[in-house]
Amino acid sequence: MNELSEKNVLVCVTGGIAVYKAVALVSKLSQAGFKVKVIMTESAMEFVTPLTFQAMSRHEVYTDTFDEKDPSVIAHIDLADWADLVLVAPATANVIGKAANGIADDMVTTVLLATTAPVWMAPAMNVHMYDHPAVIRNIRRLHDDGIRFIEPSEGFLACGYVGKGRLEEPEKLTELVGGFFSGTKPLQGKKVVVTAGPTRERIDPVRFLTNFSSGKMGYAMAEAAAGMGADTVLISGPVSLPEPPGVRVVRTESAEEMLNAVLAEYDKADWVIKTAAVADYKPKEVHGRKMKKQEGGQLLELERTADILLELGRRKSHQLLIGFAAETNDVEKYAKEKLEKKNADYIIANDVTEANAGFNTDDNKVTLFGKHAFEQTFPLLPKKELAKRLLTAILEKEDANDR
């Protein structure tokens, strides 16, 4: 018997044009072997009829809190108890706002209050709605309450805008649900904070200092941590990458902004993985207007930026602190020095001059250094695969240390 056939997924469908994707989602979840039941809001039924979801799920569709067909149970409590996972897809700004404030005025929001199962929300809405401070505030509140968000993707929206707001594809959502139920979740209950990408240090309104970091390694680490069950926060410098599913992303620009963002999460973090390539120096003076060309050379005076890893090492109490070292020579020497100086638990080091590895590549080749002369080398691997192997190696080492 397919082990997934024992898992119950309750799909809550709320009113938006992305409801048509929810039909495909229910179909794919059913094909994957899950038992699927559907609740629809009144608005959702303006787009698709309950009969469509009934055909895809092969179960009765629920639409009205007061429509009690079985007198032996209370329908919304029975559904809340039945679910192993509750997935709200699409999750509109309206249902996010109601859930964040404990409002239960229809069957979907009543079940959300009654269930003890994990709750996932897959938002879909206009890009400006998604960026509205009220929506951001509500998402953050629900995230703090333990609800996982599947970030929307970017693309052409039904309203005519191009931007972030598209419901994640049904195939990807089904894959995430399958991953949730299969295998162990060794980071379940842990909060993992990951930094990624470059920082920018402004010179004037049109120029800045930065580096070649693409953010790919950090984003892969965040995705791997979330896949292992961690409550994951990704603090990202300016990059052009899609947000990893199930990860809360905080956008920053300068080294100082990144430090402040990390410190805001630090006390409650269990693991901190500092993958970002932070600028070591910034202009001593930031010009308010564009610096005009002059005859001859131009002297730019620099000063040190905050050393984020060093500061985290100084403040470390219970956190497991993992740093990266991107080097061009003497990789082992500099990595071991960094491990001691920064009071880190592990340093992941690589030679960025190696072909097909390092910055702006899809692959990487690294060595993991830990205290007490621990060392493990990894071959050239896709960054997503490497991230999983690195986290697994650290988990195994920490488990051995505890024994």
95 closest CA partner among 23, 137, 41 = 41
- DSSP annotation of 114 reads H
Q: What does the alpha-carbon distance between residue 199 and residue 105 come to, in Å, rounded to a whole number?
A: 45
Tokens standing for residue 69? 């067909």
- Dist CA 125 CA 326 (whole Å): 39
Cα–Cα dist 33/221, whole Å: 29
Closest CA to 322 of 226, 195, 185, 199: 195
Inter-residue contact 48 to 23 (CB < 8 Å): yes
Q: What is the DSSP letter of 46?
A: G
Residue tagged 């695969």 (tokens): 385
159 is catalytic: yes
Angle in degrees, 0-180, between the axes of helices 170-181 and 19-31, rounded to the nearest 10: 40
How many Å apart are CA 227 and CA 216, to the nearest integer?
16
Question: Which two structure tokens, joined as six digits, stand for 213?
Answer: 């970091």
From the candidates 74, 104, 129, 159, give the one annotated as an active-site residue. 159
Mind telling me the catalytic residues?
159
